[in-house]
Every structure is written in C-alpha cells, then in structure tokens.
Structure 1
Amino acid sequence: MDYSGIHRPVRALVPADDGDHPIEAHPFFNESRYIHLVDGAAGVGGWFRIGRRPNQGFAEMTVCLYLPDGQVGFMHAKPSMAAGDGLAAAGLSFQIDAAFQRMRVRYAGPLCLMPDGRAMEDPKAAFKTHPRVNCTIALQLTAVAPAHGGELLEADGRPYDEGEGRYFARAHYDQSLRGSGLITVDGRCHAVNGFGLRDHSWGPRIWQSIPWYRWFPCTFDEGFSICLIMVRKADGEHVETGFVHEDGEMLHVHDIALETDYDAQHYPTGFRLRCSDERGRIYAITGETLNAVPCRHVRSLADGATDTTRIMESMTRYTCNGKVGYGLAEYMDHVADGVFEGVRAGY
C-alpha cells in the first residue's frame, strides 16, 4: 500500500494503466474505479464507483450523493459481468478522454432518496421504505496533479504476492482533480463546480483481509491537495503513507498522527491530523464531518458464517494552513461481535 518505493519495488504507471487490466486467475480478482467530487459552496457532493469481479461473475456499481438539505441519494447494483468493460455498469459510466488528464462521469437511473446517511445502517429497510427517484449525472473532470501510485513488485520484478487471505491493494493510484457539471435528482438540478479525487485499483481484493484503514483525500485547490492513509495490515504491520501535492511538487508522506472524535454509534464527527512530507514540512489538518453514510461489505464463509466490514463515507470540510477544502474521509473497520477494529485501536 506504500507506493513510494522505499519498502519494495514499484512499477511506474503508464498511460495504459488508465484502462482495464488483464483478468487474472485468482477468484477474487478485482478492478475498481472510484471518483468523488464536492462543491462546498453549493453544499453538493458525491462519489461514484464501478468495480468488476469477472471471476465471480458480477460487477459492483454505487452512486452516492450528498444534497444541500442533508438528504442522501444512494444506489447500488451488482449486474452480471463475466468479462466486459470495467468503465460501465448499471447506468453508471466513466469515459477516459485523455489518459490521466480528462474524463467524464455519466449516470442515468434510479436513486433511493433518504433523509440522511444513517438510514443506510439497514440497507434492506432503506431501499424498501424510502422513495426511488430519477437521477441524471453529467460531469467533466480534469486532473490538477499527477497520478500517485503504481504496482507493487517482488524483488525479481513479478507482481507482489500479498499472501493468501491478505489481498487488498497490490496495484493502485490516486489523482487529484477538479470537475463541473450537472446533477439532477427528482427533477431538481444542481450545478456543481468543485474539486475531488479518483482512484483505480487492480489485483485480488478481499475487503475483510485487513482490520482497518483511515483514508483522507482532499483537493483544496488546483495547487494544493493531500491524500493520506493509515492502514493496519493483516500481518499486524502499521502503514502510514500518502502524498502532498503543493505548488507543482508531488511529495511522499510517511509519518501521520490522527485523533478522531466519534459519536455513540462510532460515526466519526471530526478529526485532527498531523503529518510531515519528505522535505520535513509539517501539516496540521482538521476535518469536520458534514454528512456520513455507512456502507457494508459482507462475505459469506464456508461454514455459513459471515465476515463484515463497515466503511464510513463522510463528506468532510478540511482546513490546513489557512485553506478550506472539501473532500471525503473514509473509515473502514472490520466488525466482529460489535467491535470496530480501528476504533478499538484508537484511530
């Protein structure tokens, strides 16, 4: 998960990495793309994901919108996909116009409209009891920084083998962006003009393979963005990494300190981050949760039991060095017997 090259070799990104990758034999091979965009002035944000799992025969599509009145629009689908194009699923599509430079997001389909994100604590009930409305999305996105990441390698140049049951993020990149366009929900049109981030991962993935992670992406403006992650890996290793992009310079980050405030349901309400880049420059960052949506990944085990993770997707107001920006904060916890692993660990 650390793509700086300090701990293991990394294959540098090439333009073809913006497209689909060859399907590997592992049953949990996954290729996923995620994009978020937030217009803080308008109070509108959203994230969009397409994941393909061809060896399991399906894709994953998610659209999540945060609306100015606090409502949340959400749709998830798992259409069949044996191979196919990883850029389109169930009405959502990503179009690459220029590799690592320009792309478009389109969606036309239903959206479950809820009073706030907490309704997704029980997804089945949420989709059954809240209205479905029509939604169209048309966004144009432009990179404001180089993509950060690559593919982890063994010493002999082969793709890194994370180990059976530990598969999560062999190949991955993040990229800061700006975007604009129109989001229409139940006939009400929202013009958006803001900043965001996209990521793209490929290789075997099991969501429940790690105890927890904390991910903080925020693009403040065209000249300043951060993307920080803290991870507890399956083997117990603790990883702190990411990047700061400032004044045209992409800088690795390795030392991160985090304090999080939680409510009674273990929803993050705010946080304080402190990190340093490879120049030794210190960044003090605060975050305030504006709206949070809990998402679940559940895996059925051979003995009939289930293995669960919860990912809190929080639209967040960030402040750093006198600047205010808007992005997402993602808190993933493996959950067992009501215990959230990352919360228990003090993060």
Structure 2
Amino acid sequence: MDMRLRLEPSDEYMHPLEEATNFNESMYFNFYDHKENLGGFLRLGNRANEGYAEMTTCLYLPDGRVAFTYHRPEIANNDAFSAGGMNFEVIEPFEALKTSYHGKICVLERPLEMADPRTAFTQNPWVDCSVELDYRKLSPMLGGEPVNEDGTPITEKAEQGFARGHYEQHVGGKGTVRVGDEEWIVDGVGLRDHSWGPRFWQSPFWYRWLTGNFGDDAGFVLSITASRDGGRKIFGVWFADGAYEVLTDIKIETEWTDGDHYHQKIHASARSTSGVHEIEGTVKSLIPLRNRRTSPDGEQLITRISEGMTEWRSNGRVGSGLSEYLDQIIDGVPVGIAG
C-alpha cells in the first residue's frame, strides 16, 4: 500500500498517549537575533509512560558563554507541553505559538565542559533565567505523519522509533531573554519542529541536521540520517519566495576539531530547480550534550548530541542557525566522523 504524509491543524496540539513505553511527544524552537548576537533553543519532550519530560534550555550569549539547563521533571500524562518551568502554547495552528521558560540556568564560560555534565553543573554558577518568545510563521509547513494511502497508521517497532510524526517550519521570534542581571529584547528568526511517536536517542546510528535562516525570506534545512546497516536517509529543502523547494544531490562535508571530534566547519552543497546552492558554515559556539541508556542485555549506550550555533554563508548572504550532530559513541569515538 502506498504511503502519504498527513498533517492537520489538530496536529499542532497533543496526540493520544500510545502504548509504547518510549512514546515521546516533543516541540523544539530555535532562534537567532543578529543585532543582539544572541541565539538558542528550547525543547520539551514528554515521555509520560516513563513518568518524566525532557526539558532543555540553551542560550548562546553574545560574549561566547552558553547558558544551559536540562531537567527531567515528573509528568503523569501527555495533556500539555508544560513542565519544569517551560510552557509552549499554540495561539493559532501553523501561524503563531508562544514559548516560555522561567527557572534557574547554568552559565558556562567554557561550554565544552558540558561533556561531563555532573562536573559542569557543579563547578559553574547558576542564575535566574526567563525566556518569553512569541513565534510567527515565515514558511509553509514541512512534513507530517506517514500513513497508508487510506489513512490508516503505519506500524513501526518501538525500539527502532525516533520521530514517526515530524514537521518543521521556519519562523520569526520576538520577546525577551533574561540571564541573571542581563536582559535582551529579541527580534530574530529560527526554526521550530514537533515530533511524536516512540523514540530512543540510540535509534539513529548518526545524523546531521542543519537549519538556517537568511532573514525572514530565505533559509534551508538539510539532514542526513545513517542507520547501523549502512543505509542513509537524505533530505533537504530551500526556503525562498514564501515556498519550499526540495533539494537533491545533497552533500555535507565536515571539518572536525582535534581530539574530541566536534564539528567546527561545514561545507554543504545541494541542487534545486532554481540552481545549485553552496553553503558554508562556521560554528561560533558549541555545547556537547549526552544521553545514556542501558540496553535490555545490560549494555551501557552513550549518545552525543553536539549543538553548534552556526554562521551560514550562501549566495552572497549571511545567516545563522543550528548544526546538530548526533553520534553514538563506541569505544570513546563518535561513529559518524568517517561518514
């Protein structure tokens, strides 16, 4: 049976909690304000069957510091995105959403210290933080939930799940960010996404997810996801003139730091109906995040997600966005460095 993507305005709201123990429903919002040289992202992932949410606030401050917090607040249901001081509200589906975080945050002069989160959180200062950002539509919606042609669900194995339903949108964001005694008025651009379905962070072998904006009128998304059997899922779009163009012939080349192998420079190329796009990325600030899980046979699984605030250059324009590199760590080495 053929497959299609289903996306309705109702998908902006919460989905029924499924039986899979690892069912996840999450929203993510990033932003960057060129005038203030300030960026970041908020993420809240409900894992109600496991009794908690994953709450992340990450702010790349103008002087190179990163303000970061991660918490697993208890939740009993999947009724709302509201946990751990973070709240997401749909004002108008596909058009406008409101985000906020109020709580403590850890300020890191050396963001790479988060490779050891216990030490980083105990040896760096914590301050009060508030984020209030209103997001508005810039682009059409991208993605949805794969279903059979007749609309019936597609079955997947929970242990292999990551984001069955998933959509993204380029957005503008306005509001305020306060970290300790510092406050900024934000008028920026970014990207948001919404995912639901079973998720283990260990399901992809590695992936590269690049998001960028060149003002209100242009941007891109590129992704490569690798599986353990050597397969690749490659996808990308170019946003211009109010519409998305699907990209083909996508290539991503990475320059790594010595030692820990963090991405520091990126060259991407892709083709659309309007021509060839060459994209150069320079990581301005990076924080390494970690997820750990014990497999049913007792193996300790470690996943690294490196989040880089990145300056993008393409077609004579300068933009910004996030470069997210996920790798399983095997024998101390990220598996995707040769990919």
Give the length in aligned residue pairs: 338
| TM-score normalized with structure 1 length | 0.93
Aligned to 2:36: 42
Matched residues in 2 for 1:165 and 1:51: separation? Answer: 17
Question: Does residue 97 of structure 1 match 2:91?
Answer: yes
2 CA distance for matches of 1:253 and 1:17? 26
8 Å contact kept, 2:159–2:198: no
- The separation in 1 between residues aligned to 2:33 and 2:212, in whole angstroms, is 12
Match of 1:261 among 237, 255, 275: 255
State yes or no: 1:133 paired with 2:131.
no
In 1: Cα distance, 2:228 partner to 2:157 partner: 10
CA distance in 2, matches of 1:119, 1:8: 48
Counterpart selection for 2:322 from 324, 328, 334: 328
Q: Which amino acid aligns with 2:202?
A: Q
CA displacement at 1:288 relative to structure 2: 0.4
Corresponding position of 1:29: 23
9-18 or 63-72: which moved more? Answer: 9-18
1:340 correspondence with 2:334 = yes
How many Å apart are 1:31 and its aligned residue? 0.4
Give how far 1:216 is off: 0.7
How far 1:280 sits from its partner (Å)? 6.0
Counterpart CA distance in 1 for 2:21 and 2:229 is: 22
1:91-170 matches, cutoff 5 A? 91-154=85-148, 157-170=151-164
Query: Which residue number in structure 2 is paired with residue 191 of structure 1?
Result: 185
Instruction: Kindly indicate whether the alpha-carbon contact (under 8 Å) linking 1:225 and 1:246 is maintained by their aligned counterparts in 2.
Output: yes
SS of the residue 2:160 aligns to: coil
Note if 1:239 corresponds to 2:233.
yes
Structure 1 counterpart of 2:271, from 267, 276, 298: 276
Query: Given residue 199 of structure 1, which amino acid in structure 2 is its aligned partner?
Result: D
Alpha-carbon deviations, 1:115-149, whole Å to 9, x = none?
03201010011111111100111111111001100
Mean Cα deviation higher: 126-135 or 164-173 = 164-173
**Cα offset for 1:235?**
4.2
**In the alignment, is the contact (CA less than 8 A) between 1:241 and 1:255 conserved in 2?**
no
The unaligned stretches of length 5 or more in structure 2 are none
Matched AA of 1:101: E
**1:227–1:105 CA distance, 2 compared to 1 (3 A):** same
- Bigger mean CA offset, 151-160 vs 297-306: 151-160
- For residue 14 of structure 1, what is the aligned residue in structure 2? 8
Secondary structure, in 3 states, of the residue corresponding to 1:128?
helix
Q: Distance in 2 between matches of 1:98 and 1:336?
A: 44
Of 228-237 and 102-111, more deviation after overlay is shown by 228-237
Q: Classify the secondary structure of the residue corresponding to 1:20.
A: coil
Identical-residue share of aligned pairs (%): 37
Q: Give the equivalent residue in structure 1 for 2:243.
A: 249
Q: What per-residue deviation string (whole Å, max 9, x for no partner) do you get for residues 8-29 of structure 1?
A: 6223311001111111111111
Task: Quote the Cα distance in structure 1 between the aligned partners of 2:181 and 2:81.
Answer: 26
